[in-house]
């Protein structure tokens, strides 16, 4: 069969391959979709233009199914019967335009040439719906390979689900999702996608759907949203931090922007090292901050201290459907431990629920290897003895052997959370010692530490006087006479 003419509708599925869902850190319970305009269709040997001013044009090799028989309110068992043919597709998108779309995908995936299809159709009758394979090559290197028998939502189910909402007409196309391996391509790159039925008689194939990337030169006008990206978008577009780093090293990607200077300077970090959490709490209380203590947590090593900027992770109460959609794959918990930066403290909201673990030995080790300054959770710690054997300080409610699926669903990272009764925002300064853990708003850090250092010095001097036999009456706190003696001695000290 030759390639199809322009379809009436092009409907694309968001997440459908487990390998891709694992990359994204979420597994949907039901399929979801977006529409692509018919004007985005192109054929083999064509080009795709990376729009001027954009950086992150990404390919997605996919199996496309073509409706042959009108479908309305059909069952999943009957859905495959309404498919006439299978072909290859490439669902291109520009991450730089995602924010402007607000979820519609019109701008980032709807450009001219952004939906190559073909080069030929294979009759659906040559294989069942689980008998298809998709492969993608970039500049001759195989980068994607998966088969339809792994799909979260088989072809017939997609047809049935869509037919509940709209009529599928002959010639309509459904893009059925992309497997892991999608990444960014640059002008001059050549992307090839092939779909075949390797176990069918004659191993029928679409042949390779070839698209060459070119660079656009027409800038966006001021009458619409402009392209915009950040480092999180770069990581998602390239596939992972490691793949982005490799692309930067190869000169194919822009290096992440330099971080703003940390409020927690080396000088302040050193100063905090000599200040107790109890002293810091006094300075904060004077400024009206009474609920900045993370209640109920203790260090896994006696004598541990931690100082760092907060990176946050939030768990919500367990619910089977939410755990099914958010608990598997590269979920929020794994994402948090896999992206914590050197010097950060991973702070976990577990609602004070100590009846299950929120971190175990593997994730604690991952945080340690990445250089995290510590972990704080108002929940339990699994593999407690093993975690206690690591160097990384961990403050928690104590041990519990259960995994998080007993009480928790890992939900989101880098958001404002409540841990042990204290509000914690990403970038807050976290300090912990034998008295527990305190949260310091970054804008108060310098003045709070300066005051606490002075107070520590005074209290050390008072302790010397008490050790020498002085009564605490009038000394603690110092009255005018003791204050004068302290000031005099301090001035005489070189």
**pLDDT for 200-239, tens place per residue?**
999 999 999 999 999 999 998 888 888 988 888 898 999 8
Is 363 known to sit in a ligand binding site?
A: yes
CA distance 38 to 9: 7
Verify that 62 and 204 share a domain, yes or no: yes
Q: Where are the beta strands (DSSP E) in 256-351?
A: 293-294, 298-299, 306-317, 344-349
Is 360 known to sit in a ligand binding site?
A: yes
Verify that 234 and 300 share a domain, yes or no: no
What pLDDT shows up at residue 347? 97
Verify that 35 and 163 share a domain, yes or no: yes
Verify that 219 and 126 share a domain, yes or no: yes
Q: Does 264 reside within a domain?
A: no
Q: Does 283 reside within a domain?
A: no
Q: Does 278 reside within a domain?
A: no
pLDDT tens sequence across 300-350:
888 899 999 999 999 999 999 999 888 888 888 998 998 899 999 999 999
CA distance 146 to 128: 16
Q: Contact at 8 Å (CB) between 27 and 18?
A: yes
Verify that 466 and 346 share a domain, yes or no: no
Range of the domain at 420: 290-440
pLDDT tens sequence across 360-407:
999 999 999 999 999 999 999 999 999 999 999 999 999 999 887 789
The model's confidence at residue 487, banded by pLDDT at 50, 70 and 90, is confident
Q: Does 298 reside within a domain?
A: yes
What pLDDT shows up at residue 80? 97
Verify that 422 and 452 share a domain, yes or no: no
The residue out of 396, 415, 440 marking a domain boundary is 440
**pTM summary value:** 0.59
Cα distances (Å, whole numbers) of residue 329 to 17, 335, 338: 12, 10, 13
What pLDDT shows up at residue 109? 96
The model's confidence at residue 3, banded by pLDDT at 50, 70 and 90, is low
Determine phi and psi for 132, rounding to 5 degrees: -115, 150
CATH code of the domain containing 170: 3.90.850.10
Verify that 243 and 340 share a domain, yes or no: no
Q: Which two tokens mark 281?
A: 């709490």
What pLDDT shows up at residue 494? 57
Verify that 459 and 396 share a domain, yes or no: no
Verify that 222 and 309 share a domain, yes or no: no
Query: What is the domain count for the chain?
Result: 3
Is 404 known to sit in a ligand binding site?
A: no
Is 46 known to sit in a ligand binding site?
A: no
pLDDT tens sequence across 112-149:
999 999 999 999 999 999 999 999 999 999 999 999 99
Can you give the length of the chain in residues?
494
Verify that 339 and 205 share a domain, yes or no: no
Q: Does 1 reside within a domain?
A: no
Q: Where are the beta strands (DSSP E) in 240-338?
A: 293-294, 298-299, 306-317
The residue out of 219, 249, 279 marking a domain boundary is 249
Is 383 known to sit in a ligand binding site?
A: yes
CA distance 268 to 24: 37
Q: Does 5 reside within a domain?
A: no
Highest mean pLDDT, choosing among 51-65, 97-111, 472-486: 51-65
The residue out of 440, 466, 484 marking a domain boundary is 440
Q: Does 268 reside within a domain?
A: no
CA nearest to 279, candidates 98, 86, 132, 455: 455
| CA atoms lying within 13 Å on the CB side of residue 193 | 30
Verify that 420 and 456 share a domain, yes or no: no
Is 230 known to sit in a ligand binding site?
A: no
CA distance 62 to 46: 17
């Amino acid at each position: 069969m030759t390639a199809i003419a322009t379809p009436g509708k092009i409907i694309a599925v968001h997440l459908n391959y487990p390998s891709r869902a694992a990359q994204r850190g979420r597994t949907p319970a039901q399929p979801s979709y977006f529409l692509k305009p018919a004007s985005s269709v192109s054929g083999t040997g064509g080009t795709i233009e990376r729009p001027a001013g954009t950086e992150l044009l990404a390919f997605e090799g996919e199996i496309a199914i073509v409706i042959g028989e009108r479908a309305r309110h059909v069952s999943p068992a009957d859905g495959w019967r309404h498919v006439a043919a299978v072909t290859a597709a490439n669902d291109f998108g520009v991450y730089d335009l995602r924010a402007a779309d607000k979820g519609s995908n019109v701008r980032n995936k709807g450009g001219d040439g952004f939906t190559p299809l073909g080069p030929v159709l294979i009759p659906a009758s040559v294989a069942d719906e689980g008998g298809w394979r998709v492969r993608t090559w970039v500049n001759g290197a195989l980068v994607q390979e998966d088969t339809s028998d792994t799909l979260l939502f088989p072809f017939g189910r997609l047809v049935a689900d869509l037919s509940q909402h709209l009529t599928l007409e002959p010639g309509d196309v459904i893009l059925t999702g992309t497997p892991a391996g999608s990444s960014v391509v640059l002008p001059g790159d050549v992307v090839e996608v092939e779909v075949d039925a390797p176990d069918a008689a004659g191993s029928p194939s679409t042949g390779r759907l070839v698209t060459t990337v070119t660079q656009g030169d027409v800038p966006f006008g001021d009458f619409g949203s402009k392209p915009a990206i950040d480092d999180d978008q770069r990581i998602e577009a390239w596939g992972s931090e490691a793949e982005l780093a490799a692309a930067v090293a190869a000169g194919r990607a822009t290096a992440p922007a330099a971080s703003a200077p940390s409020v927690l300077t080396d000088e302040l970090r050193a100063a905090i090292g000599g200040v107790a959490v109890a002293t810091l709490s006094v300075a904060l209380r004077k400024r009206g901050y009474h609920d900045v203590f993370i209640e109920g947590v203790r260090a896994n090593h006696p004598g541990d201290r931690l100082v760092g900027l907060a990176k946050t992770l939030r768990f919500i109460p367990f619910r089977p459907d939410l755990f099914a959609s958010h608990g598997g794959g590269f979920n929020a918990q794994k994402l948090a431990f896999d992206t914590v930066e050197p010097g950060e403290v991973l702070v976990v909201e577990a609602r004070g629920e100590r009846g299950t673990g929120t971190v175990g030995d593997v994730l604690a080790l991952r945080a340690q290897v990445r250089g995290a300054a510590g972990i704080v959770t108002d929940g339990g710690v699994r593999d407690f003895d093993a975690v206690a054997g690591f160097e990384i300080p961990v403050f928690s409610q104590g041990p519990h052997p259960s995994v998080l699926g007993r009480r928790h669903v890992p939900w989101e990272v880098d958001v404002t959370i409540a841990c042990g009764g204290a509000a914690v925002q990403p970038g807050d300064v976290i300090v912990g010692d034998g008295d527990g853990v305190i949260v310091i708003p970054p804008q108060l850090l310098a003045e709070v530490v300066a005051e606490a250092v002075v107070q520590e010095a005074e209290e050390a001097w008072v302790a010397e006087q008490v050790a020498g036999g002085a009564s605490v009456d009038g000394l603690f706190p110092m009255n005018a006479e003791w204050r004068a003696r302290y000031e005099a001695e301090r001035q005489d000290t070189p």
